Amino acid sequence: MGMSASQARLLYITAQLNNLSLQGQNVSDAKIRLSMDSERIQEKYTRALSNSRLYINPNIFTVDGASTKSELITLENLKAQNLFVYDGSKILGYTYEKVDTGKTEEVIVGYEDDLTKPIYPMKEETDTFREPDATIPAFGTESLDKMNGIVAATGLGEEDMEVVSYTTMIGGQERDINAISIKSQTGFDAMMQQLSQNPDAALQNYVLDLDDGEVIDLSKYNWHGISGFQGVFDGNGETIQGLNGDSGFFNSLYGVAKSINLVGANVSAETDALGAMANYLADGASIENCNATDVNITCNLQATTYPEGYVPERAAVGGLVGLSNGNVSNSLATGTINIPNADDSFGYIGGFIGANTNIVKGESTIKNCYSDVDIKLGSGLNYSNSINNFIGDDSHETTIKNCVAMGAITNASGSNINASDLACRGPVLESDVTNMMALDTRNNNNVLYWSNSTSPTYDSGNSNKGVLGTSATETLSDGSKVNVWLTEGDDGYREQDQATSITNKLPVLNLTQIQEDALAKEETKQTPDTTQPPIGYEQKPIKKEVPVYETVLVEDENFGGLSSLELETGIRNGRYQLVSPAAADSTQGFNINGTDYELVSLDSCTAIVDKQDDNALALAEAEYQKGMEAIQAQDKRYEIDQKKIDTQYDALLAEEESIKNVLNKNVERSFKAFG
C-alpha cells in the first residue's frame, strides 16, 4: 500500500520542525556568546576607569591660554619641585660635584705650646676659711651683704662669729660658698636669736668652726627646731648635744645639712612628723654626712582624722627624719623610738626615716646609711601598718643603695610583734634597692639581703653567711673564702672590716671612714706649685685659611634614562623612594653623599597628583561605546531571527495537528466500514 499525500506532508513538517529547532538553538547560543562579549567589553572599560598615572600637580604649572599644563612625572620635572628619586644607594639621574665657592675659612691644622700658659706640678694644700669673696656665685638665696648685716647685728667679734669663704662638697660636687662661721657657743646662741628675729637669717649659710674639744650645748633651750631653713648648715664634723624639746634639730629643712654630729637628742611631741635631725626634709633638700646617735624619740600623737588630700595622711616618725621628700647620704641614726599609743591607725614608723612621700619615682635617694634604732610600740601584738626598721612608708619608690637596718621592733613588754605586711623587713617592696642589709626581727633576727631587686634573700640566724651567694667572695688570713657584702672599690669598703664583720655576724658599712674621707677631701685640695719649674705648657691651636667647597647636584651624563611609566611603577612598588633636601632643624634626615634628605611619602606629596590619563580614558570610552553599539545591533538581529523561527515553528505545529486529526478520522471510518 502506498503512502498517502497527508502522510508525506506530515513527514515533511516533522523534518522542518526539527530544522527550525536547530536554528533556534543556534540563535540562543549566539546570544550567549554575545553576552560574554558584552561582559569582556564591560571589564575592559572598568579597568580603564580604574587606571591612573602620576602627574606633576597641574596647579603648580603656569597656565597656557585657557588650559593648564599637566605632565607625567619625570626626573626633570620632579627636580623642579625639589623632589628626587632614591634607589637605596644614590639619587637617580644625578651625581655630586665639589665646587670652589671662592670663600675661605679658618681651620685648626695642629697645636703648639703656648709659652704664656705654663703647667706646673700640683701640690696638696690645706684649705682654710678665707676672707669673704664677693665674686663667689650665690648658693640658693645667700647674700654676702646680708650675711655681714646679720653678723653686725649680733655685735660679736671675730672670735665668736664672722663671714668666711671656703670650699666644700655639696651633693657630690665641689662648691665655693660664703658662710657665717660660728666659732663658739656664744656665736651659736646669737645665730639662734637671729633665726628667731630676722627672716633672712634662715636663707643664709652657716658653718661651725669650734676650738678643739668644744661642743655646742642645747641643754638651756626648750628646743622647738630650726624652721624653714633654706641655706647650707655645715656642722664641719663638730658635735651638738643636749637637745631636749618637741622637735628635731631642724623642724623643716629646705636646704642642706651636712657633717652634723647630733648626740643624745631627747625629743618628745604630739606632732605629725618627728625625727632627730629633721622633722621634715623637703623636696630637693639633703642631709649629708650627718649622725644622730643615742636619740630618744617619743611620739604621743593621738588618733587624728586628717582632711582629704593631706600628706602623708598619717604620722611619720623616724630616727633621723620624720617625713622626707629629699635625699640622705652617708648618715646614721642610733637609739630608740617610743610610740606608746601605736595601733593600726597610727601612721608610718621607721628606724631611719618615717615616710617618703616624694611623688616622683626615684627622685629621693638614700645612700650609704646605717640605722640601729629600736622601735618600742604599745601593748598590742598585731600591727598591719608600715612599721619598719629602716623606712616606714616608701610608696613613691625611693632609690636605696648600700644601707643597713639593725634595729628591733617590739611591743611594750619586749615581745616581737605580728605584722601582716610591711613591718620589720627593711625597705618596703616599692623601693629601688641595691646592696641593702636588714634584720627580720619577726624571725629570729634573720638577715635579709637585697642585691638588685625588691625581693630580699633570707638566711636563718643572725648571720650573713650564705645570703650573698657566690657572686662576691673574700679570702681570709687563714685561706678560707667567705661571702662579703661590699667589695673593693665600693663606698665604705675597708679590707680589715670585712673579716671582722663576718666574725661578728654583722653587715659592713664603714660610715666613719666615709665621713672622715669626705671631711679630709674638703680640707685639702690640689693647687699648682708655681715655685717649681713648669712640666709643660697648655696647647694653642695652629690655624690656617683653606678654601671652602660646597657639594652641588648635577645631571649624570652616564645615566641611561628612565621612562615615566618605569619611574611610576618603581615608586608605587617601593623600589624607588621620593626624597627632598632636609630642613636645617630636621630630626628625620639621612645622609646621601654628604647631603641630608628626608623621605617624602607619595600620599602626602602635594606636588604629585594620582589621576586618570584623559586620552586613554577617552579612547576606552570610545571603544566601549562602539563595542556596545555593535553588540546591541547584533542582539536585535538575533531577536528578529528568533521571531521568524518562532512564527514558522508555530505555523508548522498547527498544520501538523490538522493533518493528524484528518488521518485519525480516516482510520476511524475504516474500522467502522470493516466492522
Amino acid of residue 495: E
Pairing, β 577-581 against β 595-600? antiparallel
Question: CB–CB of 273/252 below 8 Å?
Answer: no
Q: How many CB atoms lie within 10 A of CB 53?
A: 17
Blockwise average pLDDT, block size 10, the chain, 675 residues? 73 86 87 87 78 74 51 86 88 85 90 91 78 80 84 94 91 89 97 94 94 94 96 95 97 96 95 92 93 94 57 76 93 92 76 83 82 85 74 78 81 73 48 69 58 53 40 53 48 41 49 69 74 90 90 82 86 89 81 83 84 77 87 88 89 85 80 72
Pairing, β 595-600 against β 122-126? unpaired
Q: 202 is written with which cell numbers?
A: 634662715
Specify the 3-state DSSP secondary structure of 7. helix
Q: 417 is written with which cell numbers?
A: 610583734
Task: Check residue 651 and give left, alpha or beta (phi > 0: left; psi -120 to 50: alpha).
Answer: alpha
Q: Which residues pair with 372 in a beta bridge?
A: 334
Cis status of the peptide bond prior to 427, with omega within 30 of 0: no
Q: Compute the residue count for the chain.
A: 675
Question: How high is the pLDDT of residue 184?
Answer: 97
Q: Which residues pair with 673 in a beta bridge?
A: none
User: CA–CA distance from 531 to each of 120, 123, 415 (Å)?
Assistant: 8, 10, 69
Q: 392 is written with which cell numbers?
A: 616606714
The C-alpha angle with vertex 491 and arms to 486 and 495, in degrees rounded to 5, equals 55
379 vs 121: CA distance, rounded Å: 67
3-state helix vs strand vs coil in the chain, percent to 5: 25, 35, 40
Nearest to 264 by CA among 329, 317, 219, 331: 219
Question: CB–CB of 258/170 below 8 Å?
Answer: yes
Q: Tell me, what DSSP letter sits at residue 531?
A: T
Pairing, β 473-475 against β 481-483? antiparallel
552 vs 534: CA distance, rounded Å: 51
Question: How high is the pLDDT of residue 254?
Answer: 95
Specify the 3-state DSSP secondary structure of 340. coil
Question: How high is the pLDDT of residue 572?
Answer: 86
Mind giving me the DSSP string for 550-612?
EEEEEE-TT-----HHHHHHHHHHTSSEEEEEPPTT-SS-EEETTEEEEEE-TTT-TTEEEE-
Residue in the structure block whose three cell numbers are 531571527: 641
Nearest to 279 by CA among 345, 228, 240, 346: 228
252 vs 294: CA distance, rounded Å: 21
Chain Cα centroid distance, residue 293: 40
118 vs 331: CA distance, rounded Å: 42
The C-alpha angle with vertex 179 and arms to 173 and 182, in degrees rounded to 5, equals 120
> For 166-196, how does the pLDDT look when each residue is reduced to its tens digit (9 = 90+)?
888 898 888 889 999 999 999 999 999 999 9
The C-alpha angle with vertex 441 and arms to 439 and 446, in degrees rounded to 5, equals 50
Q: Tell me, what DSSP letter sits at residue 547?
A: E
Q: How many CB atoms lie within 10 A of CB 23?
A: 16
Query: At CB < 8 A and 24+ separation, what contacts does 562-565 make?
Result: 562/75, 562/85, 562/92, 562/93, 564/53, 564/54, 564/72, 564/73, 564/74
518 vs 529: CA distance, rounded Å: 24
Question: CB–CB of 356/394 below 8 Å?
Answer: yes
597 vs 364: CA distance, rounded Å: 44
> For 611-664, how does the pLDDT look when each residue is reduced to its tens digit (9 = 90+)?
777 777 788 888 888 888 888 888 899 889 889 988 988 888 888 888 888 888
Question: CB–CB of 260/240 below 8 Å?
Answer: yes
Q: Which residues pair with 544 in a beta bridge?
A: 107
Q: What is the pTM of this model?
A: 0.57
Question: CB–CB of 260/518 below 8 Å?
Answer: no
In the CATH scheme, what is the code of domain 215-523?
Answer: 2.160.20.110
Specify the 3-state DSSP secondary structure of 506. coil
Question: How high is the pLDDT of residue 226?
Answer: 97
